[in-house]
Amino acid sequence: MRADYKRCLQSDYERRFRPPAPDRKYRPDQPRDSWGRWVDAGGANATSTATGITDHRVLSDASGDPIVPGAQYAQNRVRNPLTTIWINGQQFELTPGQAARLAVAEARADFSTARVREIDPNWKPTQSWAQTPEGIIKAYNAEAREAQDRAYELSRQGIAPGPFAGESIPARGPKCDFTAAERREINRIGEATGCHTCGTLYPGTMLRNFVPDHQPPSALNSSGRAQRLYPQCAWCSKQQGGAVRRFQLGKYK
Ligand SMILES: [Zn+2]
C-alpha cells in the first residue's frame, strides 16, 4: 500500500465529520506551546512572538542557522494532524494510542469497502451515528467486518473469484469460445485447486471438463474490465447464473 493511500481513500467519516478546514493544517503563524500544540493568541502561552516564532528563518524548515531563538517551536510542531478530530462540530483531543487505533481502523474500513465496491460499486455500509472517537473506531471496525462479510458472500455466489480461487488465465473476451489449450489449462487448475467457488474437485459435467468461468462475470462487467478465467463446477456455474440475475435486479441480498 502506498504511504499516501489516504489521499485516494477518503472515508465517509472524514467527509462527514472532519471539516477540511485550514485549521487542521499546520499554519506557521499560529502560536504553539513547547509541545507544538496550538495555543490561543494572547493566551497564557502566547510567548511565541517574543521568542521569534514569526521569524521566517525558524519557520521555513530551511536548514540555516540552527541557533535561532525559538527554533524548538519549528522542531516540536505537531506532525500528525489527526491528534485532534472534529465530530459533529465538537473537537476531541486523541491520545497517541487512540490516534493510532483510529488510523488503523479507518484504513481497514477503507480497504475492505474499496474491495467490495470493485465487485458491487453501489455497496454502502450501515450508517453509524458515532459521537465519540471510541464510537468512531467501533464504527470503522464494524464497517470493515460488514464489508468483508459482503465480499465473502458475493464470492460464494460466484459473483467474484471464490474462496478456492487459485490460478487463473486471461480471458480473450466475454464469449465462451474456449480453445483446446484454454480448456486444458482450466482443467489442470481445477484438478489442482478445485472449483473456485465451492472447492470440489469434481467438475460435474458430462465430459468431466471444468467450466471456464469469467471473472468478473460478463453480465456484470459493463465497465469492460479485463476478465480472467477460473475453473468452476457445473453446479456452481448454474447457481451463479441465478445469482447474477438477482444481482442485476438489485434483489441480491
Ligand atoms: Zn463449485
**Could you tell me the pTM of the whole model?**
0.58
Q: How close is the Cα of 183 to the center of ligand 1, in Å? A: 17
235: cell is 453446479
What is the Å distance from ligand 1's center to 227 Cα? 19
Q: What's the 203 CA to ligand 1 centre distance in angstroms?
A: 8
How far does residue 105's CA lie from ligand 1's centre (Å)? 34
Q: What are the CB-based long-range contacts (under 8 Å, 24+) for 103-110?
A: 105/136, 105/137, 105/140, 105/141, 105/144, 106/11, 106/13, 106/14, 106/140, 107/5, 107/6, 107/9, 108/140, 108/141, 108/144, 109/11, 109/140, 109/141, 109/143, 109/144, 109/147, 110/5, 110/9, 110/11
Residue 162 CA, ligand 1 centroid: distance in Å: 9
**Does position 8 have pLDDT exceeding 60, yes or no?**
no
Name the average pLDDT for the chain. 76
How close is the Cα of 200 to the center of ligand 1, in Å?
A: 6
| Cβ contact 130:138 at 8 Å | yes
Residues 6+ apart with CB under 8 A from 191: 201
User: Cα(196) to centroid of ligand 1, in Å?
Assistant: 7
- Over residues 64-115, the pLDDT tens digits come to 444 444 444 444 444 554 688 888 888 899 998 999 999 999 999 999 999 9
Residue 206: is its pLDDT beyond 80?
A: yes
